[in-house]
Amino acid sequence: MTAAAAWRLTAAAAMMGASALVARAVPAQASGSAVARRLALKNASRYDDAFRRYSKRYFGAGFDWHYFKAQGMAESGLDPNATSYVGARGIMQLMPSTYQGIASKRPEFGAINDPQWNIAAGIMHDRYLWKLWTTSISEPERPAFMFGSYNAGEGTIMRAQSVAKGAVGSAEQWAHIEQVAPTVPRWRYRETLEYVRKINGYYAGIRDRR
C-alpha cells in the first residue's frame, strides 16, 4: 500500500481529532468536517500550482500533493504573511534559520515570505524528514512521523520513540507515539498530535471537494 493510500484511509477517522481542535473557534453546531470543507472551498485552487510542482519535484509524481496543501492550511491558513509567536514565517511557517539553510543550497529561492519559495522550502524540508524515517518506519505510517517531526522536531519524535519502545514494546506506528505522548518530557505534545490530526482533517476537506 502506498503512503498516499494509507494516509487517505486514516483521514476520515482523523476528522474527529480535527473537530476537537476547531470547536474552540467555531459554534458548537459546526462540525470539524464542515469547517474543513468550507476552508477547502475557500482555498479551492490557491497556490495549487506551487504545491503540485514542488511535491512532484521532491516526492515524485505518485505522491498526492494535496497533503502538502493541507499542511499549509494547518500551518498558516495559506497566509504568506503569517508570523508565529516564535518567528516562523510564511505559508509553511518556516523558521528563518531553517529557510536560510535550505535557500543556501538553492540560489533561485527568493524571500522567505514569497509564497512559491516558502512552499518549495517547506516541501523540501518534508522530504528531508521523509527520508530520515525511511529505514525505521513503514511507508503507510511515515507521513504522520514526517508531519509530527516538522512540528516538534525530529529529535523530539525520536525521544518519543524511545519512550514507546520501553512502554509498549514498539514504536513503529504513530498510534504508539500518541499512546506515550504525555509521558515524554520537554515537548508540547497536544500541539503536535493535534497538528497531525488537523492535516488529516484538512486533507479530507480537500478530498471532498475534488
How confident is the model at residue 187, as a pLDDT?
96
Q: What are phi and psi of 90, to 5 degrees?
A: 85, -175
* 60, burial (CB in 10 Å: exposed 0-12, middle 13-18, buried 19+): exposed
Side-chain-facing half-sphere of 56: CA atoms under 13 Å: 7
Q: Where are the alpha helices (DSSP H) in the chain?
A: 3-22, 32-42, 48-59, 66-76, 96-103, 115-132, 142-152, 154-168, 174-180, 189-209
pLDDT at 13: 44
Confidence (pLDDT) at 15: 42
pLDDT along the chain (210 residues), means of 10: 51 41 32 62 80 97 95 96 96 97 95 97 98 96 97 97 96 97 96 97 81
Q: What is the pTM of this model?
A: 0.81
Residue pair 10/19 in contact (Cβ under 8 Å)? The answer is no
pLDDT at 39: 61
Q: What Cα–Cα distance (Å) separates residue 169 from each residue in 136, 161, 193?
A: 15, 10, 20
pLDDT at residue number 22: 32
Architecture of domain 3-209: Orthogonal Bundle (1.10)
pLDDT of residue 206: 86
pLDDT of residue 43: 61
